[in-house]
Copies of this chain bind each other. A is one copy, B any other.
């Protein structure tokens, strides 16, 4: 644990909600991440882990203060890890000019375009560096064969593409209001052109709807949760129906729960995150 600095620790539902910082080699800056250690982490049994990827404008704080997930993580005995949403403090020109690109909008991709390619490597950060760091630093409590992932909005996109690009890395996946087909929506087009350049053939490598058509890994069920009153859904930023259609075309099981009148906020997430924990627990603890 010598690489990690403890930022905060709060007892919650019998376990501890902690935040650590560390120097990231992928992102070349200091990063915070959260980790919830449920009460079962005091015992001798190794526990499943769920990674949670947050949406635009978030830090590692939004999810741990607003979703109420700790109750369900404590009930199921699951460790939950939440990274930040972009590199911090690296001052790339233009990184703070808009809320949907640059700082707090890393989109969980590995940028290839200058000047973003040096630091904006959130894909490798989450799926390689942090994934391995958690297993090393918390090796006494983590079961490396039982790792799942979920996320919200941009982070829902991140959870889906992380799973589909890395078959077997995550045993279970779910998403709240994910950006399902970023090459077809304004947020995704801005991010993918900005981080990857104008060659659209490269964009498909970071688009869940495109990736699922080529998926050839272990059996997987995608659980999607979408508020029907979510203005970004109505504005066609999220496009879950495109992902459902792609899944059906290739026989990948998918569940889309459309929730009447729920919006894009944490009120949607907190209402249904218990169901998502049930879904992950059933897979990870089987």
For A12, list chain B residues within 8 Å (CB).
Answer: 267, 270-271
Q: Give the B-binding residues of A (Cβ under 8 A).
A: 10-14, 17, 65-66, 68, 70-71, 227, 229, 259, 261-263, 265-268, 270-271
CB of A263 within 8 A of CB of B11, answer: yes
Contact of A229 among B11, B71, B261, B271 (CB under 8 A): B11
Contact of A267 among B11, B259, B265, B271 (CB under 8 A): B11
For A271, list chain B residues within 8 Å (CB).
Answer: 11-14, 70-71
Copies in the complex: 2
**What are the 3 closest A-B residue pairs judged by CB atoms, nearest first?**
A68-B68, A10-B267, A12-B267
The answer for the CA separation of A261 and B11 in the assembled complex, in Å, is 7
CB of B68 within 8 A of CB of A270, answer: yes
What are 7 A-B interface contacts by the 8 Å CB criterion? A10-B263, A11-B227, A11-B268, A13-B270, A14-B271, A66-B66, A70-B271
CB of A11 within 8 A of CB of B65, answer: no
Q: A12-B271, A70-B267, A70-B271 are in contact. List 5 more A-B contacts (CB 8 A).
A: A11-B227, A11-B261, A65-B65, A65-B266, A71-B271
Give the residue name and chain of the B residue nearest to A260 (CB): B11
The answer for the CA separation of A263 and B58 in the assembled complex, in Å, is 24
Contact of A66 among B14, B65, B71, B268 (CB under 8 A): B65
CB of B267 within 8 A of CB of A17, answer: yes
Q: What is the minimal beta-carbon distance from A271 to any residue of chain B, in angstroms?
A: 5
For A66, list chain B residues within 8 Å (CB).
Answer: 65-66
The answer for the CA separation of A17 and B261 in the assembled complex, in Å, is 12
Give the residue name and chain of the B residue nearest to A265 (CB): B10
The answer for the CA separation of A263 and B9 in the assembled complex, in Å, is 10
For A262, list chain B residues within 8 Å (CB).
Answer: 11
For A229, list chain B residues within 8 Å (CB).
Answer: 11
CB of A70 within 8 A of CB of B268, answer: no
Q: What is the minimal beta-carbon distance from A260 to any residue of chain B, in angstroms?
A: 8
For A267, list chain B residues within 8 Å (CB).
Answer: 10-12, 17, 70
The answer for the CA separation of A14 and B260 in the assembled complex, in Å, is 9
The answer for the CA separation of A13 and B11 in the assembled complex, in Å, is 25
For A71, list chain B residues within 8 Å (CB).
Answer: 68, 270-271
Give the residue name and chain of the B residue nearest to A65 (CB): B66
Give the residue name and chain of the B residue nearest to A228 (CB): B11
For A11, list chain B residues within 8 Å (CB).
Answer: 227, 229, 259, 261-263, 267-268, 271
* A11, A65, A71, A265 pick with most chain B CB within 10 angstroms: A11
For A270, list chain B residues within 8 Å (CB).
Answer: 12-13, 68, 70-71
